[in-house]
Chain A
Amino acid sequence: MASLVPCPHCGPRPKEEFTIKGAALPRPAPTADPAEWFDYVYLRDNPRGSYAEYWHHTAGCRRWLVVSRDTITHQVAACRDAAAQGHAA
Chain B
Amino acid sequence: MPVLEVESLEYKYPTGVSALGGVSLAIEPGERVALLGPNGAGKSTLILHLNGILLCQQGEVRVDGDRVEKRNLAEVRRKVGLVFPNPDDQLFMATVAEDVAFGPRNMGLDEDEVDRRVGRALEAVGLPGFEERMPYHLSTGEKKRASIATVLVMEPDVMVLDEPAAGLDPRGRKGLIELLKGLPCALLVATHDLAMAREVCSRVLILDGGKLAADGPVDDVLADTELLLEHGLA
Q: Do A and B bind each other?
A: no
Q: Which positions in B face A, CB cutoff 8 Å?
A: none
Q: Which positions in A face B, CB cutoff 8 Å?
A: none
